[in-house]
Amino acid sequence: MANLNPHLSTDCVVFGYDDKELKVLLVEREMNKRGSVSNFQPDLKLPGGLVFNDELLKDAASRILKELTGLEKVKLVQFDVLDSLDRMDKATDREWLEQTTGLRIDRVVSIAFFGIVGVIREKNCKAGTHWVKMSEIKNLPFDHEEIIKRALFAIRQSLKRDGLLFELLDEKFTIHQLQNLIRIFYDEETDSRNFRKKIKKLDFVIPLDEKQHNVAHKPAQLFRFDRKQFSQFSNTRIIF
Protein backbone atom coordinates (compact mmCIF):
# COMPACT_ATOMS: atom_id res chain seq x y z
CA MET A 1 0.00 0.00 0.00
CA ALA A 2 1.16 3.52 -0.73
CA ASN A 3 2.53 5.69 2.03
CA LEU A 4 0.55 8.34 3.88
CA ASN A 5 1.13 11.89 2.71
CA PRO A 6 2.28 13.80 5.83
CA HIS A 7 1.10 17.12 4.41
CA LEU A 8 -2.44 16.32 3.23
CA SER A 9 -5.51 15.30 5.21
CA THR A 10 -9.29 15.27 5.00
CA ASP A 11 -11.77 16.26 7.71
CA CYS A 12 -15.46 15.39 7.66
CA VAL A 13 -18.23 17.43 9.27
CA VAL A 14 -21.18 15.06 9.48
CA PHE A 15 -24.42 16.66 10.65
CA GLY A 16 -27.23 14.68 12.21
CA TYR A 17 -30.51 15.82 13.67
CA ASP A 18 -33.52 14.71 15.66
CA ASP A 19 -36.85 16.44 16.20
CA LYS A 20 -35.23 19.11 18.38
CA GLU A 21 -31.71 20.03 17.37
CA LEU A 22 -28.68 19.78 15.11
CA LYS A 23 -25.64 17.77 16.15
CA VAL A 24 -22.15 17.03 14.81
CA LEU A 25 -20.40 13.67 14.85
CA LEU A 26 -17.09 13.74 16.75
CA VAL A 27 -14.62 10.99 17.62
CA GLU A 28 -12.42 10.44 20.66
CA ARG A 29 -8.74 11.32 20.41
CA GLU A 30 -6.34 9.74 22.89
CA MET A 31 -2.62 10.21 23.31
CA ASN A 32 -0.41 7.15 23.79
CA LYS A 33 0.33 6.82 27.52
CA ARG A 34 4.03 7.04 26.75
CA GLY A 35 3.56 10.43 25.14
CA SER A 36 5.78 13.19 26.45
CA VAL A 37 3.06 15.85 26.54
CA SER A 38 2.04 16.20 30.16
CA ASN A 39 -1.54 16.39 31.39
CA PHE A 40 -2.99 15.35 28.01
CA GLN A 41 -6.63 14.39 28.45
CA PRO A 42 -8.75 12.40 25.98
CA ASP A 43 -10.81 14.79 23.91
CA LEU A 44 -12.98 14.95 20.79
CA LYS A 45 -12.18 15.83 17.19
CA LEU A 46 -13.71 15.69 13.73
CA PRO A 47 -13.35 12.40 11.86
CA GLY A 48 -10.26 13.02 9.77
CA GLY A 49 -6.82 11.76 8.90
CA LEU A 50 -3.96 11.72 6.42
CA VAL A 51 -4.45 10.77 2.78
CA PHE A 52 -2.60 7.92 1.07
CA ASN A 53 -0.52 8.98 -1.93
CA ASP A 54 -2.47 6.69 -4.25
CA GLU A 55 -6.05 7.68 -3.33
CA LEU A 56 -8.40 10.45 -4.36
CA LEU A 57 -9.49 12.96 -1.72
CA LYS A 58 -13.15 11.89 -1.81
CA ASP A 59 -12.11 8.26 -1.39
CA ALA A 60 -9.87 9.17 1.53
CA ALA A 61 -12.70 11.07 3.22
CA SER A 62 -15.10 8.11 2.88
CA ARG A 63 -12.45 5.62 4.04
CA ILE A 64 -11.48 7.62 7.12
CA LEU A 65 -15.09 8.30 8.07
CA LYS A 66 -15.90 4.58 7.93
CA GLU A 67 -12.76 3.58 9.83
CA LEU A 68 -13.35 6.03 12.66
CA THR A 69 -17.15 6.06 12.97
CA GLY A 70 -18.50 2.99 11.16
CA LEU A 71 -20.62 5.16 8.87
CA GLU A 72 -20.54 4.39 5.17
CA LYS A 73 -22.38 5.42 2.03
CA VAL A 74 -22.62 8.96 3.38
CA LYS A 75 -22.79 11.54 0.60
CA LEU A 76 -19.81 13.81 1.28
CA VAL A 77 -19.46 17.21 -0.38
CA GLN A 78 -16.10 18.97 -0.58
CA PHE A 79 -16.56 22.57 0.55
CA ASP A 80 -13.29 24.13 1.73
CA VAL A 81 -9.52 23.95 2.06
CA LEU A 82 -7.85 24.70 5.40
CA ASP A 83 -4.27 25.87 4.81
CA SER A 84 -3.55 28.27 7.65
CA LEU A 85 0.11 28.34 8.68
CA ASP A 86 -0.82 28.05 12.36
CA ARG A 87 -2.95 24.87 12.13
CA MET A 88 -0.20 22.88 13.87
CA ASP A 89 0.82 25.46 16.46
CA LYS A 90 -0.43 23.49 19.49
CA ALA A 91 2.20 21.07 20.79
CA THR A 92 -0.42 18.50 21.80
CA ASP A 93 -1.92 18.47 18.30
CA ARG A 94 1.43 18.03 16.58
CA GLU A 95 2.58 15.31 18.97
CA TRP A 96 -0.71 13.41 18.76
CA LEU A 97 -0.51 13.39 14.96
CA GLU A 98 3.12 12.26 14.96
CA GLN A 99 2.38 9.51 17.48
CA THR A 100 -0.60 8.10 15.63
CA THR A 101 0.99 8.24 12.17
CA GLY A 102 4.62 7.53 12.99
CA LEU A 103 5.60 10.42 10.74
CA ARG A 104 7.35 13.70 11.33
CA ILE A 105 4.73 16.42 10.84
CA ASP A 106 5.38 20.09 10.16
CA ARG A 107 2.49 21.37 8.04
CA VAL A 108 -0.80 19.74 7.04
CA VAL A 109 -3.35 21.11 4.58
CA SER A 110 -6.86 19.73 5.14
CA ILE A 111 -9.59 19.29 2.54
CA ALA A 112 -12.97 19.61 4.29
CA PHE A 113 -16.15 17.70 3.44
CA PHE A 114 -19.67 17.88 4.87
CA GLY A 115 -22.46 15.33 4.95
CA ILE A 116 -25.89 14.78 6.48
CA VAL A 117 -27.05 11.43 7.79
CA GLY A 118 -30.64 12.39 8.58
CA VAL A 119 -32.23 11.36 11.84
CA ILE A 120 -29.54 10.36 14.32
CA ARG A 121 -29.13 6.67 15.10
CA GLU A 122 -26.28 6.21 17.60
CA LYS A 123 -26.39 2.42 17.28
CA ASN A 124 -25.04 2.70 13.73
CA CYS A 125 -21.78 4.24 14.95
CA LYS A 126 -18.66 2.73 16.45
CA ALA A 127 -17.77 3.05 20.13
CA GLY A 128 -15.86 6.26 20.76
CA THR A 129 -18.06 8.36 18.50
CA HIS A 130 -20.34 11.03 19.91
CA TRP A 131 -23.18 13.15 18.52
CA VAL A 132 -22.55 16.55 20.10
CA LYS A 133 -25.00 19.45 20.15
CA MET A 134 -23.82 22.48 18.20
CA SER A 135 -24.21 24.61 21.34
CA GLU A 136 -21.86 22.32 23.29
CA ILE A 137 -18.97 22.17 20.84
CA LYS A 138 -15.85 23.80 22.30
CA ASN A 139 -12.12 23.34 22.81
CA LEU A 140 -11.65 21.11 19.78
CA PRO A 141 -8.11 20.43 18.54
CA PHE A 142 -6.49 22.00 15.48
CA ASP A 143 -8.95 24.34 13.71
CA HIS A 144 -11.90 21.97 13.91
CA GLU A 145 -14.28 24.54 15.39
CA GLU A 146 -13.57 26.82 12.42
CA ILE A 147 -14.16 23.91 10.02
CA ILE A 148 -17.55 23.22 11.62
CA LYS A 149 -18.47 26.90 11.38
CA ARG A 150 -17.59 26.97 7.68
CA ALA A 151 -19.42 23.69 7.08
CA LEU A 152 -22.61 25.01 8.63
CA PHE A 153 -22.45 28.12 6.45
CA ALA A 154 -21.89 26.01 3.33
CA ILE A 155 -24.66 23.57 4.10
CA ARG A 156 -27.16 26.34 4.84
CA GLN A 157 -26.46 27.71 1.37
CA SER A 158 -26.81 24.30 -0.23
CA LEU A 159 -30.05 23.41 1.55
CA LYS A 160 -31.86 26.24 -0.20
CA ARG A 161 -29.85 26.59 -3.41
CA ASP A 162 -29.87 22.90 -4.34
CA GLY A 163 -33.20 21.91 -2.81
CA LEU A 164 -31.40 19.58 -0.41
CA LEU A 165 -33.68 20.72 2.39
CA PHE A 166 -36.63 18.92 0.80
CA GLU A 167 -34.63 15.74 0.26
CA LEU A 168 -34.22 15.46 4.04
CA LEU A 169 -37.99 15.11 4.38
CA ASP A 170 -40.12 12.09 3.59
CA GLU A 171 -41.57 11.94 0.09
CA LYS A 172 -44.81 13.26 1.59
CA PHE A 173 -44.45 15.85 4.33
CA THR A 174 -46.38 18.47 6.26
CA ILE A 175 -45.62 22.18 6.37
CA HIS A 176 -44.93 21.85 10.09
CA GLN A 177 -42.25 19.20 9.38
CA LEU A 178 -40.61 21.50 6.86
CA GLN A 179 -40.78 24.42 9.28
CA ASN A 180 -39.21 22.34 12.04
CA LEU A 181 -36.36 21.27 9.76
CA ILE A 182 -35.64 24.92 8.97
CA ARG A 183 -35.63 25.74 12.67
CA ILE A 184 -33.11 22.96 13.34
CA PHE A 185 -30.66 23.86 10.57
CA TYR A 186 -30.98 27.63 10.67
CA ASP A 187 -31.51 28.03 14.42
CA GLU A 188 -34.38 30.43 13.89
CA GLU A 189 -38.06 30.48 14.63
CA THR A 190 -40.60 31.33 11.93
CA ASP A 191 -44.13 32.62 12.28
CA SER A 192 -46.34 29.65 11.42
CA ARG A 193 -49.05 31.62 9.63
CA ASN A 194 -46.67 33.66 7.46
CA PHE A 195 -44.51 30.61 6.82
CA ARG A 196 -47.50 28.65 5.54
CA LYS A 197 -48.42 31.52 3.19
CA LYS A 198 -44.88 31.67 1.78
CA ILE A 199 -44.66 27.92 1.21
CA LYS A 200 -48.00 27.79 -0.57
CA LYS A 201 -46.69 30.36 -3.07
CA LEU A 202 -43.84 28.03 -4.11
CA ASP A 203 -44.77 26.20 -7.29
CA PHE A 204 -42.46 23.29 -6.49
CA VAL A 205 -44.17 22.47 -3.17
CA ILE A 206 -47.18 20.51 -4.39
CA PRO A 207 -50.26 20.14 -2.13
CA LEU A 208 -51.72 16.64 -2.06
CA ASP A 209 -55.26 15.54 -1.52
CA GLU A 210 -54.05 13.51 1.45
CA LYS A 211 -53.61 13.92 5.18
CA GLN A 212 -51.46 12.26 7.82
CA HIS A 213 -52.46 8.85 9.14
CA ASN A 214 -52.19 7.38 12.62
CA VAL A 215 -51.23 10.58 14.45
CA ALA A 216 -52.31 11.62 17.94
CA HIS A 217 -53.23 15.12 16.80
CA LYS A 218 -55.46 16.48 14.06
CA PRO A 219 -54.12 15.10 10.75
CA ALA A 220 -52.35 17.75 8.66
CA GLN A 221 -52.36 18.09 4.89
CA LEU A 222 -49.45 16.47 3.05
CA PHE A 223 -47.22 18.02 0.38
CA ARG A 224 -44.50 16.80 -1.98
CA PHE A 225 -41.41 18.38 -3.53
CA ASP A 226 -41.30 18.65 -7.34
CA ARG A 227 -37.64 18.84 -8.41
CA LYS A 228 -38.50 19.46 -12.07
CA GLN A 229 -40.51 22.53 -11.10
CA PHE A 230 -37.78 23.59 -8.69
CA SER A 231 -35.12 23.52 -11.43
CA GLN A 232 -37.09 26.07 -13.46
CA PHE A 233 -36.99 28.79 -10.83
CA SER A 234 -34.41 31.20 -9.56
CA ASN A 235 -32.80 30.41 -6.22
CA THR A 236 -34.33 33.59 -4.85
CA ARG A 237 -37.72 31.88 -4.96
CA ILE A 238 -36.91 29.99 -1.76
CA ILE A 239 -37.54 32.57 0.95
CA PHE A 240 -38.46 31.22 4.37
pLDDT at site 38: 47
Q: What is the mean pLDDT of the chain?
A: 87
pLDDT bucket at 237, cuts 50 / 70 / 90: very low
Name which of 143, 196, 152, 157 is nearest 174 in CA terms. Answer: 196
Write down the pTM of the prediction: 0.86
Task: Give the mean pLDDT of 29-38.
Answer: 59
**Cβ of 224: how many Cβ atoms within 10 Å?**
16
pLDDT at 230 over 90: no
What's phi and psi for 74, nearest 5 deg? -90, 130
